[in-house]
Amino acid sequence: MAAEPLSNGATHLSVPGRYILPVHKRPSSSVNGKWALPVVDLGGDDDGTIAEEIVRAGREFGFFQVVNHGVPEEVMGAMMRAAEEFFALPADEKMKYYSNDGKKLPRFHTSLRNGTGEEVLYWRDCLKLGCHLPEWPDKPRGLGAALEPYTAAVRAAARRVLRLTAIGLGLEEGHFDGSLSGSGLMNVNHYPPCPDPSLTLGAGPHCDPGLVTVLMENVGGGLQMLLHGDGDAGGGGVMWVDVDAAPGALVLNFGHQMEVVSNGRLRSAEHRVVTSARGARTSLATFVWPEPGCTVAPAQELVLAAGEGPLYKPHSYGEFLGAYLAEGGVKEAAMAHLKH
């Protein structure tokens, strides 16, 4: 029996059993800390300096925030309002788009957790949108009108980041241009208030499969990344830290394919989402990835320049994506399919 989406109006005074994680997977079982998210100003005219900042953040963390990114404030506001309005619609309006078919777009669903030995749900509803499809939900009325300018501006910002990343790695500026998928995919995630956040997660630990993900959120708090103490951050060991962005900033993180292309110089950032009892959180994640048939491999320039062998084998992005989904996004399991 399919789970009832959390945004459909049911009142939960306690966490239903199907959302309660095993003790060792609960957020309270891990070490948590505070951390300042690196800020990259895309508005400067010194591409070399900006490229260095992006590569430094990618090497140490895999996460950073960008300001002066070129996405107008009014475009961001219209998109977020439309997203929030969708989850506030009556249940019968949303359920027209409900499906457990992962290939269906647009698709409204509630999140499923596998791999714990039993079915456990994440505390999240999701609207999955194809950014260039002719069909979007007809309600709220402003969704289609908001989606087109937002995705165009966000993808333009992501392409600029990819060009600067290539420069920072010592590659040709257009290294990523020919492989990028022309279609876009966005997850509009909604996390309602949770009666007991210590028992649940909005999304479990995972890395994104593509090159880079661009995130906008309506309130801070919730997103966490796994911070490794082996870089300039120091401290040793690992801990989960909050990823909070400045107002108007976008949060970016690198995915598995960027770690492959850079031959391990840049991190695919492992992250999760914790829940809150205080209020709802909505986030929009836009994924930028290669075409499914594109062959991804470590850049030869990097392998030859360092005199080292490739850490990862060439692979079709589409084939990797199938393996990634089968592994539930778990970093070590997914990357095992790529390593020599």
Q: Do residues 124 and 202 make contact, with C-beta atoms less than 8 angstroms apart?
A: yes
Which residues neighbour 86 within 8 Å (Cβ) at sequence distance 6 or greater?
A: 94, 127, 137, 139, 140, 143, 188
Confirm if 165 and 54 have CB atoms less than 8 A apart: yes
* Contact in structure between 247 and 231 (CB atoms under 8 Å): no
DSSP calls for 183-237: S-EEEEEEE---S-GGG--SEEEE--SSSEEEEEESSS-SEEEEEETTSTT-SSS
The Cα–Cα gap between 265 and 258 comes to: 9
Quick check: bond before 195 cis, omega within 30?
no
pLDDT at 234 > cutoff 60: no
- Is residue 232 scored above 60 in pLDDT? no
Q: How many CB atoms lie within 10 A of CB 34?
A: 9
Q: How confident is the model over 47-60, as a mean pLDDT?
A: 97
Q: Report whether 328 contacts 114 (CB < 8 A).
A: yes
Q: How far is residue 96's CA from residue 120's CA, in Å, rounded to a whole number?
A: 24
165-192 pLDDT tens trace: 999 999 999 999 877 876 678 999 999 9
CB 294 within 8 A of CB 316: yes
Query: What element of type H or E holds 294?
Result: none
Q: Which amino acid is residue 125, in one-letter code?
A: D
Lowest-pLDDT choice from 164-168, 289-293, 334-338: 334-338
Enumerate the domain spans of the chain: 37-224+236-338
Answer yes or no: are the C-beta atoms of 252 and 161 closer than 8 Å.
yes
- The residues, ordered by sequence, that sit 6+ positions from 24 with a Cβ below 8 Å of its Cβ are none
With a cut of 80, say whether residue 241 has pLDDT above it.
yes
- The answer to whether the CB of 122 falls within 8 A of the CB of 55 is no
Q: pTM value?
A: 0.93
Average pLDDT over residues 255-259: 95
Is the separation of the CB atoms in 308 and 156 below 8 Å?
Answer: no
Q: Is the pLDDT assigned to residue 46 strictly greater than 60?
A: yes
pLDDT value at 325 more than 70: yes
Question: In this predicted model, which residue has the larger pLDDT, 283 or 326?
Answer: 283
In single-letter form, the type of residue at position 80 comes to M
Q: What is the pLDDT of residue 182?
A: 65
% of residues, the chain, pLDDT over 90: 65
pLDDT band at 312 (very low <50, low <70, confident <90, very high): very high
Element housing 1 (H / E): none
Q: 3-state DSSP helix/strand/coil percent for the chain, to nearest 5?
A: 30, 25, 45
CATH 2.60.120.330 fits 37-224+236-338, yes or no: yes
Average pLDDT score over the chain: 89
pLDDT, tens digit, 9 for 90 and up, residues 8-34: 988 889 999 999 999 989 997 777 777
